[in-house]
Amino acid sequence: MSMKLRLFKPKIQSKLTLAFLFMGLIPMLLSTIIVVKLNAKRVDREIRNKLENASQEFRRVIEDYQEKAKLRAEIIIRSPEFRREDLPTLEKLTTTQPLRPPGTGKPTIIWEPGRMEGMDYTKEKAEATETILLIEVFQSKALAGSAVLPVWKNGKVVGNLIVAYLLERGFTEYLENLTGVSVRIDSEPLFTKGESKEIGDIPFTPQIREKVLKEKSSYYDEKAIFKGEPYQALYQPLLGNDGRVKGVIFFGVSKRYTFKSAVGAGQFWF
């Protein structure tokens, strides 16, 4: 006759088995949660750095545009041909005149008669002012990294020569490829009319309005929405030399990326 040795009753044995399972799983799950949280913080820092680096790269490119625009404007104004042939015609104009329109693959050049708001005309000088302008040419508006050079004649300002590098779609695509983040740029009229306005397909919340428009500061948003998806984003005002907000730039990274990165480090615990 065979005998089966039973140390515990079936119910007790089942409970002990479950207890051992829980004792093994709970520390494993806790470890995974801790690792994921720690990694999420690390990824968040990396994303912030990525957005800040994109912002710095943008400033570098804008400064490069403005320096080129300034140099170009000063070369034109010193040209004998400009003084002899172009200026006599330009100084008679009362409306904005494109000298080189957009779409040529070169910087846009514009003649602006009279005096421009925010410019310093206290003394005659042949030096251009670097700034960000909202350029309107052929019923189209765009922000531009620019240089403005007042043109004097007989001690009087007759107009301004503007050299501008437009910050259009091609520019944002270039920045996206350069930095690896989503980039959007919009100008003042697109987001200051009414509280419900958006920056393209990005909601412009009251907090962003307060920080970017009124305080003229950067704003980091962990809960931004872009194309209907959650993003981590950095908003920055684009200021002209007059101190006014001419536009806003959005740098964003999808939270799909941050979630995958945060969870990825915890996968070896399973």
* This prediction's pTM: 0.76
- Do 126 and 113 share a structural domain? yes
The 10s digit of each residue's pLDDT in 217-239 is 999 998 888 888 889 999 999 99
pLDDT tens, 122-140? 877 778 999 999 888 767 7
Does residue 36 register a pLDDT over 80?
Answer: no
Which sign, positive or negative, has the C-alpha torsion 85, 86, 90, 91?
negative
Domain span at 257:
168-264
Q: Is the domain of 114 the same as that of 202?
A: no
Among 133, 150, 166, give the residue marking a domain's end.
166
The reply to whether 182 and 155 lie within a common domain is no
Q: The tokens of 61 are what?
A: 């490119």
Q: Are residues 127 and 193 in the same domain?
A: no
- Looking at the 3D structure of the chain, how many domains does it have? 2
Average predicted confidence (pLDDT) for the chain: 80
Q: Is residue 96 part of a domain?
A: yes
Residue 37 lies in a domain: no
- Whole-angstrom distance, CA of residue 229 vs CA of residue 212: 22
Which residue has tokens 């990525």?
Answer: 50
What tokens were used for 219? 């704003």
Taking the C-alpha atoms of residue 106 and residue 97, their distance in angstroms, rounded to an integer, is 17
Given a cut of 80, whether residue 167 has pLDDT beyond it is yes
Q: Do 85 and 159 share a structural domain?
A: yes
Predicted confidence (pLDDT) per residue in 68-121, tens digit: 999 999 999 988 888 888 888 898 888 888 888 776 668 999 999 999 988 888
Same domain, 149 and 236: no
- 19 in a domain, yes or no? no
Asked whether residue 269 is domain-assigned, the answer is no
Provide the Cα torsion 98, 241, 206, 248; round to 10°: 50
